[in-house]
Amino acid sequence: MGGINSCLPSSKGTSDRPRRRYVLSKKRHDQPSSNIPINTNNNINNNNNNNNTINLNQVSEDELLLLPGINRQLAQNIVQYRQLNDGFKRVNELLYVNGINHDLFERIRYDLSIESLSPQIKQELININSASHNELYSIPDLTPILIQRIIQRRERKGPFRFIEDLLKVKGIDYVILASIRPYITVDYRQMPSSVSQSSILDPSNNNLYPTLNKPNLNTTSDSLSLASLLLETLPPELQTILLSMTPQRPLSICKDNQTYFRFASWNLQQLTNEKVQNPGVREVVCRIILENNFSLIGIQEIGNKEAIGYIVEELNNPTIPLIKDWPNRQNGKWNYTVSDAAGRMFQGNEYFGFIYDESIGIELKRASLLPFKNYFTRSPYIVIFRIYNKYEFVFVNIHLKARRLDENENERTKDEALSLSILAEAMNDTVEQQHIVIFGDFNMIPSASEFDALIQRNYSYIIQQNTNISMKTPQGSTCVDNIWLSPEAKALSTDKSGVIRDNLTSMWIPAGWTWGGLVSDHCPIWIEFDLS
């Protein structure tokens, strides 16, 4: 019959080397591993020339199956991570691979080694912002039609900021993006050194916006400076078109004379410890915070009290390359506060939280769940912050009961929306501060009649666009998240607010049976205040 050999993978693409390793591995795995800490600073077996170890940068998918605890899916995840990150730099980087936990890593770590990818195998990445038609044609799975669309888009919109921006090109989906990602980059600084003004304006030139290499260019300049550099090379009429098409980057704020600050609200959809340990989740959340100059963020649907601590740690001591190398990233002093269990959500308790940057003058004064259990399924979380030593704001974090397909089951959601006016009246009687912000996931559109009582108390909402998002409906279908302001808070707001829809995916985040998923089914929303 099948026997033991039937359990082994096909011999195609394998060698005899890994099979001899089990004599050594068994002895090692019998040793207690609880007293062996993971060395996060030094490479483990990086220079190990023992033929009985597996080189993570050369091992095949089938060979990985010979390791204890590694199944086909984990082997595919390891190979995919290696391709997306230009190989492993150290063995304990394996912990970043989806599905590899600490216990499994301890079982296989001594069977692994690291050797750099062979120069003959290693391929130079192609910069899609400056690549010619022929260079793009060398990328597998890019058809002539897709190449033409990529070139046309960068000519109309300017350079791609992230690899994920290719999803905006018609015909490129997550499957194609995953297959071409190992071959491409969007580095703004891969700039040809000799590009004349005439070559830029030449209609026959496939790349209308080549990135230019000027002398003494500071490689740490942010993308705003680089964009300005590109604009200088274009005629005035093209500059005007580009400025009208390209969203402005957030205002850089001087810490010594702070007047503006941006507040954001984000339902992070069951943010458990397991979810936040996915590096793609942390990368997306931290990138959105840094890119938009948010200094105070209210979060709903936290599944574990410790979960947003991982985000704060990444902001303070980044390990993900994109966050670590963020242009002009200042060393903030990020902190957070999390409520006790506010109520129940799917498969557990729900907590509310805030992330805030103490280094720019945001001080937590008081925080508490409101005793409104008779009115809300999840008790609102009220927090008072002192901003820039000027004003004290009251932030009320809300997540109303989810609506159901059966309209008869939605009466509770409507009752909770009606109760917001009772909450506002109670705060007027008990809270000295008048700058009140009620925000979060309301599970109802802001124009619903249930909010009329809140409007009668002179509260106003700021978000009118769709705030949900999915792979099938990237532009959303309804406005359920919002920020409501008291008249005093409204007076301090600028005319800047919005919904962030772009770059909410990561190739590290699962999306069903593929990769490149969304960090949440809610978009972050934000508003800017001027405290001058």
pLDDT tens-digit series, residues 424-451: 888 777 778 889 999 999 999 999 998 9
- Give residue 262's pLDDT: 96
Rounded to whole angstroms, the Cα distance separating 62 from 183 reads 23
- Give residue 275's pLDDT: 93
Is pLDDT of 321 > 60? yes
Hey, what are 311's tokens? Answer: 């985000």
- Domains, the chain, in order of start with CATH, read 4-113 (1.10.150.320), 126-244 (1.10.150.320), 262-530 (3.60.10.10)
Mapping DSSP to helix (H, G, I), strand (E, B) and coil, where does residue 468 land? strand
pTM over 0.85: no
Cβ 375 vs Cβ 416: under 8 Å: yes
Give 504's pLDDT tier (boundaries 50, 70, 90). Answer: very high
- Give residue 216's pLDDT: 35
> Does residue 222 or residue 462 have the better pLDDT?
462
Is pLDDT of 271 > 90? yes
SS3 of 87-124: the string is CCCCHHHHHHCCCCCHHHHHHHHHHEECCCCCCCCCCC
According to DSSP, the residues that pair with 530 across neighbouring strands are 260
Amino acid at residue number 37: P
Is pLDDT of 256 > 60? no
Please state, in angstroms and as integers, the Cα–Cα distance from residue 407 to each residue in 82, 400, 412, 447, 476, following that order.
Answer: 49, 16, 10, 18, 21
Amino acid at residue number 283: E
Hey, what are 402's tokens? Answer: 């989810």
Rounded to whole angstroms, the Cα distance separating 35 from 43 reads 18
> Does residue 158 or residue 100 have the better pLDDT?
100
